[in-house]
Chains A and B, each alone.
Chain A
Amino acid sequence: MPSSFQKPGNRSAAPQATDLWPGHSRALAFWEGVVTSALVSCAAITIFTTAGIILVLGVQSFEFFRLPEISITEFFFGTTLRPGAHPPKFGIVPLLWGTFLVAAGSSMIALPIGLLSAIYLSEYAPRRVRSVLKPALELLAGIPTIVYGYLALLLVTPILKRLLEPMGFRVETFNALAACIVVGVMIIPLVSSLSEDVLSAVPRGLREAAFGLGATKFEVSTRVVLPAALSGVFASFILAVSRAVGETMAVVLAAGMRPQITLNPLTQIETMTTYIVQVIGGEASYGEPKYLSLFAVGLTLFAITLALNIVSSWVLRHFREVYQ
């Protein structure tokens, strides 16, 4: 690394071409170039990652759909998934249904609780309480998903059994409801911290004007602040749903591996992520239809989460109320 000081003998008083930025000497200019290109390649890796994901999923899914026994319509609209049967059946609808069930169930838990806690943190909490609660929520967000999965198996399902079996419901060891509950708890911190950011970004003047007109704190929170931040709140909801869709370990441990279309949340289901884990954990070897099907399922999963993320940022940009 060259010294940042110039040797006095190197420079004449008259301005030269090498005096111009960047770099005052040839070595320094060379070093600037090296560093710049290193940094550019770091940034390029992020682009290559996206390109790699699309390429890997696209190419192998294409290979899957080119197999003689697979048809695209049957894949996307088939309602039976039996990769081990003869002939194998690859219908993704049961997986989509399982994913939807988990996403919807966990949203019903996480969205209201997350929003209420965001309102508390931004409108009600004294500063000192807030400075404790916010890091606590961040800690909660840092807990790995395998822990939540284990918790579903160890804590939630036994409690459900104790509660519901006396009432005549049969609760399976692996069930969708336990998965919904733990995934819901898992995404609460995401909803509350993202929503809290947009709620506290609403200018004070709006609140003060409403208080000046005689509104109560409840009215200010729900009729002034919340509508003003609605786009951001909505965007955080969509991001949370996207997280629930892509959630893997908690669902693998809690929800089981039986692909079926059912409305009963107390039975086993299978999500897209679970299917991927199941295929890779099994004995399927490379090139088999079953192995290749994981890429097609992965592509669908990637497309769904990407679409949700894009919708979320679009909502944030296009429906934002702009204040000065």
Chain B
Amino acid sequence: MTTAPQAGFAPNRLMRRLLGPVFGTACLLATCTGVAVLTLLLGSIVAAALQGPPRAPWYAIGSNLTEAGSLIRRLATSSQSRMPEFAGYRVGIAGSLWLLGLVALIGIPVGVGAGVYLEEYARPGRLRQIVQTNIANLAGVPSIVYGILGLSLFVRAFGIKAIALGPTLLAGVLTLSLLILPIVVITAQEALRAVPSSLRHAALALGATRWQVVRDHVLPSALPGILTGTILGLSRAIGETAPLLMVGAAGSILQMPRGPLDRYSALPVEIYNYARQPDPAFQAVAAGGILILVTILLIMNGAAIVIRSRFRRYH
């Protein structure tokens, strides 16, 4: 090798020294935009919800909290109304809780079952590959397309009156269950994959059947991961608006749903209805609803993150 300097190599010391920190700072700022936006978002929504004459300055946190508390209590206990000072989310919250419970009963077991099948039962091969690719693609389908599916399949049943559910709670539940299926399957699979195979081998060697291995050893070990996926799926379901609009969650329902075949409304759908009103007083009502929704979601997601970091046994 000759040591002749190469023509193209001309190190610019100053540039090299400057560029690094500049780039690092830019990266840090970019990362902070996310957190900053979250703060800005919640702050502006709280401010909008407490709109009106400022009774207490913003730094009087105690009295502001009391005010926010009474606002949320009022919104949570009154139903739809044409007058903003009486409008609230009672029916929507009830509908969302119904949806949450029924999706947890119907959608989650199916998703976990599919995950267990793919990880523990299916032989590696073409069929498994197809199912896997299909699930990955389903995860990318826009939620409104699930709404169209639910509309044709559950609400109208292709025009067959006898099995058409109409715009009932059950139709919404089935649609949302299909919507969250890919998330639940993928997270369940990840959790099951993290369980070491020595555990399965030991149980099989002692004479357990395949289902006994799964039920008594694999599932308990993978439970925290599966629970995380379940919560993530449910929080996706509770925040979805577009598919519910498609399958007929109406914003103007005044009666509480009593069973899965009743008509219903959901919290995000009511928020959408209020947000569309031109009257700025309704904007404050919408902001209050968002406050309720985001609080529920942050609690659910926070729980998922804690469960994952605290109870994860295998990495």
Contact = CB atoms under 8 A, between A and B. Distances in A.
A35 interface: yes
Contacts of A38: 113
A260 B310 CA distance: 52
Contact of A217 (B24, B136, B147, B232): B24
**Which DSSP category, helix, strand, loop or mixed, fits chain B's interface?**
helix
A175 interface: no
Interface in A290-317: 294-295, 298, 301-302, 305-306, 308-310, 313
Interface string B128-144: 00110111111011111
Tell which of A154, A301, A308 has the most Cβ of chain B within 10 Å. A154
Interface of A: 4, 21-24, 28, 31-32, 35-36, 38-40, 42-43, 45-47, 49-50, 52-53, 56-57, 60, 112-114, 116-117, 119-121, 123-125, 133, 135-140, 142-147, 149-151, 153-155, 185, 188-189, 192, 216-219, 221-222, 239, 242-243, 245-249, 252-253, 273, 276-277, 280-281, 286, 294-295, 298, 301-302, 305-306, 308-310, 313
B137 A137 contact: no
B23 interface: yes
Contacts of B38: 136, 139-140, 143
Contacts of A49: 138, 149, 178, 181
B117 interface: yes
B265 interface: no
B74 interface: no
A182 B62 CA distance: 32
B75 interface: no
Nearest to A6: B207
Nearest to B280: A154
A280 B28 contact: no
A221 B21 CA distance: 12
Contact of B31 (A43, A133, A245, A295): A133
A144 B113 contact: no
B250 to A, nearest CB: 10
Given A56-B149, A247-B142, A249-B242, A35 B211 contact: yes
A146 B241 contact: yes
Contacts of A294: 148
B313 to A, nearest CB: 19
Tell which of A124, A216, A249 has the most Cβ of chain B within 10 Å. A249
Nearest to B134: A50
Contact of A50 (B121, B137, B156, B210): B137
A189 B34 contact: yes
B190 interface: no
B275 A239 contact: no
B245 A281 contact: yes
B19 interface: yes
Contacts of B30: 112-114, 116-117, 120
B176 to A, nearest CB: 13
A76 B76 CA distance: 46
A46 B182 contact: yes
B142 A253 contact: no
A42 B268 contact: no
9 contacts: A50-B138, A125-B31, A138-B305, A140-B37, A146-B272, A146-B290, A149-B272, A252-B242, A298-B145
A137 to B, nearest CB: 5
B121 A39 contact: yes
Nearest to B207: A24
Interface string B245-266: 1100000000000000000000
B216 A4 contact: yes
Given A56-B148, A143-B297, A218-B23, A137 B242 contact: no
Contact of B26 (A114, A116, A153, A249): A116
Contact of B275 (A189, A217, A253): A253
Contacts of A149: 272, 275
**Which are the 5 A-B pairs with shortest beta-carbon distances?**
A246-B142, A144-B239, A42-B113, A120-B27, A116-B30
Nearest to A22: B209
A31 B211 contact: yes
Contacts of A117: 27, 30-31, 33-34
Contact of B23 (A221, A277, A305): A221
Tell which of A114, A189, A246 has the most Cβ of chain B within 10 Å. A246
B144 A45 contact: no
B283 A154 contact: yes
